[in-house]
Structure 1
């Protein structure tokens, strides 16, 4: 299934046709969640791959064998992508799932289960830069044009998967409507990976011994993941993802946006952000290592 130039529009949101069909998107909105499922929810380029690796390693008690032998898209398939149902037919044990879908599309299905939901957010300036570079190498995504053009499209919410602002606000503001919900940020994981591993393991009720925690931390470090072909997408054919134009796992840093945004672009985005996020309690780390994230305002909800 190539469909590299196809765009699917579903419920007013655009998706890359290479991975999505009308049938696969309907399948996701009607998904039969099981109480033992763990669902990783992210807007694109917000730490999906990282959390997939973290949950895999926690469930394997720090043993890296599975993450070194099985591609992450089969370990934690996106429920809205066309291959998901086939992957899950062969799945055994508790399922690890992923999605980029907005809350409004999954709410009905989730409210019928006690599946665990992990929502990972990232500061939007870094999301924009990462997403822009991904568009330049992924042949199934639209040509992003100049960074100025892409920035404008992103702020309008007309990029693939829709508005970042709507996505993060809808999921986090509806946290109490989900029986088991964990909010964590990319910046938290970057600044203190060990504590983040402990936080996720507590949520999953899968405690790790000290040696298991150390093994997991080593295996899900950015440097290790960057060299792992099961994670870095080098297994994807060149005609689909042109690795000569960039790396899927590029820098993974906080604040790399300063190397792309102009002063004026940053100032204008700040104004737009302040307006669109005025009704949100979320705060993000933009440049510094010192965390200012009010994650306690979005606690873990366990039934």
Structure 2
């Protein structure tokens, strides 16, 4: 998601927004230059052993989990009302000319642990994260809802390629021709990594929607945190979709490259909204294609809860 750390400081006005970027093939993955311009520096990023990396395909619950982690570690401090989430949890691979980079923001984070987010497929993650044995939380969302959410995001975010109409978009999603490549490769690549890398916690968006408290409990176990029941409930309430949507420090309303008149950054946060977008024919075609690409029976998604 092009949630630019830089964008917050961009003065508003249409003349400030560069033309929408073109997508291109980058080492076998569809990308745009905002995520590849600083490639060597990103690859050489120096992770620390206590860093926590939040990894997702775009629009799979990145901000939600980032916010939960921020509350778990740093609580309701003053930063909650003064520092936007994309400064507290920098977006590692983003680079915007004249406005700095997510890597620099991550390098300069004052917190310990540093919570950093990425949309990189597993093969692109800087190697220091593995070498330092960092904890990584991967969040995955069912393909149909993910496609719908990404479509609305691309409509309103001027730093993303022009999405065109929905029917064309669904095809590009199936072909992996969206920024950060194929959803199928992304979720499968990270799932496979989990089998060999024990410090990877794989979270399903649908589980988070179904029972946020239970998933916060699992996160605490994974991170070795003990928080009181009262505190965990407060975090679950604070991270409720409706509360986050109203919270200007997490809803991206102060990012000028996002046009909230087209669609809000936080739109619905529901499971099953795909039914309002897919025609029956699209759904059938999608399901057929899905079966061919999702051959690992151990990785199962829910399109309804």
TM over 0.5: yes
Change (3 A) 1:169 1:219: same
Map 1:216-255 to 2 at 5 A: 216-237=235-256, 240-255=257-272
Report how far residue 265 of structure 1 moved: 0.6
Q: What TM-score comes out, normalization by structure 2 length?
A: 0.88
The partner residue of 2:63 within 34, 40, 49 is 49
Match of 2:249, SS state, is coil
Aligned residue number for residue 30 of structure 1? 44
Aligned residue number for residue 293 of structure 2? 276
The partner residue of 1:156 within 175, 178, 181 is 175
Using the alignment, how far apart are the partners of 1:248 and 1:85 within structure 2? 23
Change (3 A) 1:117 1:257: same
Using the alignment, how far apart are the partners of 1:161 and 1:286 within structure 2? 22
Report how far residue 241 of structure 1 moved: 1.1
Using the alignment, how far apart are the partners of 2:292 and 2:29 within structure 1? 22
Report how far residue 166 of structure 1 moved: 0.3
Match of 1:41, SS state, is strand
Which blocks of at least 5 consecutive residues in structure 1 are unaligned?
290-303
Aligned residue number for residue 14 of structure 1? 30
Using the alignment, how far apart are the partners of 1:179 and 1:109 within structure 2? 16
Give the length in aligned residue pairs: 283
Using the alignment, how far apart are the partners of 1:107 and 1:187 within structure 2? 28
Equivalent residues of 1:80, 1:99 under 8 A apart: yes
Change (3 A) 1:3 1:179: farther
Aligned residue number for residue 264 of structure 1? 281
Equivalent residues of 2:35, 2:93 under 8 A apart: yes
Map 1:1-303 to 2 at 5 A: 2-7=17-22, 9=24, 10-17=26-33, 19-23=34-38, 25-60=39-74, 62-63=75-76, 65-82=78-95, 83-92=101-110, 93-106=112-125, 108-237=127-256, 240-287=257-304, 289=305
Q: What TM-score comes out, normalization by structure 1 length?
A: 0.88
Equivalent residues of 2:91, 2:103 under 8 A apart: no
Report how far residue 64 of structure 1 moved: 6.0
Equivalent residues of 1:63, 1:215 under 8 A apart: no
Please list the CA deviations of residues 239-278 of structure 1 after superposition, one character each: whole Å capped at 9, or x if unmatched.
Answer: x111111111011000000000001111111111111001
Please list the CA deviations of residues 169-211 of structure 1 after superposition, one character each: whole Å capped at 9, or x if unmatched.
Answer: 0111111332411011100100001111111111111111122
Aligned residue number for residue 298 of structure 1? none
Using the alignment, how far apart are the partners of 1:172 and 1:43 within structure 2? 12
Q: Which moved more, 1:172-181 or 1:36-45?
A: 172-181
Report how far residue 97 of structure 1 moved: 0.5
Give the aligned CA root-mean-square deviation in angstroms: 1.7
Using the alignment, how far apart are the partners of 2:206 and 2:28 within structure 1? 30
Using the alignment, how far apart are the partners of 1:179 and 1:264 within structure 2? 40
Which blocks of at least 5 consecutive residues in structure 2 are unaligned?
1-5, 7-16, 96-100
Equivalent residues of 2:51, 2:135 under 8 A apart: yes
